Amino acid sequence: MVQFYSPNRRSVNRGIISVTADNLDAQGQGIARHQGKTIFISGLLPGEQAQIQLTEEKRQFAKGKIVKRLSDSPDRVSPPCPHFKVCGGCQQQHVASELQANTKACVLERLMQRETGLNISAHPIIHGPEYGYRRRARLGLQYNAKQRALFMGFRQNQTNDLVNIKHCPVMRPELEQLLQPLSQCLNSLNAVKRLGHVELVLADNGPLIVLRHLDPLKHEDREILRTFSVQHNVSLYLAAGDDNPLEPLSEGQPGPWYQVDGLKLEFSPQDFIQVNDEVNQQMVSQALAWLDLQPTDRVLDLFCGMGNFTLPIAAKVQSVVGVEGVAALVASGQYNAQLNELMNVDFFHENLESDIHRQPWAALGFNKVLLDPARAGAAGVMPHIVKLAPEKVVYVSCNPTTLARDSKALLEAGYHLVSVRMLDMFPHTSHLESMALFIRHDLSGVGD
């Protein structure tokens, strides 16, 4: 057989080598060095020695798998989840929580320093509970013909196959205790082979379930689901398709709501809410403290969602404007402003990735700005924020790379980066959430 040379093809040394990890990356992989090359090894902690086999080799780095671990770090803990190493939901339950959080904070600090040239601490870290924190979870449903059973769970690591979840210690206990009875209920349906996914949400007034089904449900199945909702005191909604409105299974079901900063926010089961309630409470409190809100302030909240920040801000200032690209979230924000008797709030449904200069909110004046964009960041609105010249800007981020990129626009415009915080919103995962405070240079008390 003829073989052709490929300059991009790199052979992998299949031999066994011994290494000692000296650090972790944000994904929880151990970082070791061998013959001048950085090697990433899943499951190896700083200070641990192991025999490894290389699985991938590039010019600048390599990846390896553990053949035999030769020592244990004091930061190694026993994962409480029986699905750990199989389920793709959590990757770091074997790592002590303090090490996880400090590693993410250090990653954030290094990234900000590399992109902006500034040495700034991401401590103190905003923490929540180590387990039992997740108040929203979406689980896939997959009928296994061989076992003649419906699997309900999360995707396996790097595959499309589902792990049939029986326990999930990162879920709020009120949701975790529904897993096994819900699985039994769904397996008893005639439509068991035609189900899409299920969402579990814990509102402050109780749990709710959204069931996505691919075909209309028969009366018998509806009665089985209705009985389940009564027995387990859970509100149940049916979703026949992505474009169809949710159908409450029982008439008169109370709408879900949660509290933040003393306000009551009602939401649709399909609305985005922060998964970690305790960290969300602290995050909102920190943002309000950083903004140092005064009765004369005019505040702009970009990518505002349903008003998680907007409404608490409104309770303290002259006026606030929230701008959001999802119409349903804008409607929820407007409704909740009325519910909480906040008359100084305006919400705009606008695409913040389009030409914002023609949008009606853009002609208004603001002296403080908060933004909470998606992973893509806020490159399109940064020039307009600079044009507004607010005294303070609070940037809440779910992607440190775009936070670092967007920070440069404010720094170049004369803003000072005063504080950065790492938000431990998703313990045991690689997700890194953060927030940063910028103050206009002439107001920051910092020299030229």
Is residue 278 classed as helix, strand or coil in its secondary structure?
helix
398 is catalytic: yes
- CB-based contact 346:321 (threshold 8 Å): yes
Among 78, 53, 49, CA closest to 64:
53
Annotated binding residue 185:
no
The DSSP bridge partners found for residue 155 are 162
Is residue 439 classed as helix, strand or coil in its secondary structure?
strand
HSE value, Cβ hemisphere, 13 Å, CA-based, for 214:
10
Among 404, 386, 395, CA closest to 441:
386
The DSSP bridge partners found for residue 211 are 198, 238
Annotated binding residue 106:
no
Residue type, 355: D
Task: Kindly state the helix (H) or strand (E) to which residue 139 belongs, with its residue range.
Answer: strand 136-144
Q: What is the CA radius of gyration of the chain?
A: 25
Annotated binding residue 90:
yes
Annotated binding residue 274:
yes
CA distance 144 to 60: 42
Annotated binding residue 276:
no
Among the options 106, 185, 304, 398, which is catalytic?
A: 398
Annotated binding residue 84:
no
Annotated binding residue 168:
yes
Is residue 181 classed as helix, strand or coil in its secondary structure?
helix
CA distance 164 to 348: 42
Task: Kindly state the helix (H) or strand (E) to which residue 56 belongs, with its residue range.
Answer: strand 49-57
Annotated binding residue 324:
yes
Residue 211 CB contacts under 8 Å (≥ 6 apart), including other chains: 186, 195, 198, 225, 236, 237, 238, 239
Residue stretches of the annotated binding site:
81, 87, 90, 168, 274, 303, 308, 324, 351, 372
Residue stretches of the annotated binding site for S-adenosyl-L-methionine:
274, 303, 308, 324, 351, 372
Residue stretches of the annotated binding site for [4Fe-4S] cluster:
81, 87, 90, 168
Question: What is the set of active-site residues?
Answer: 398
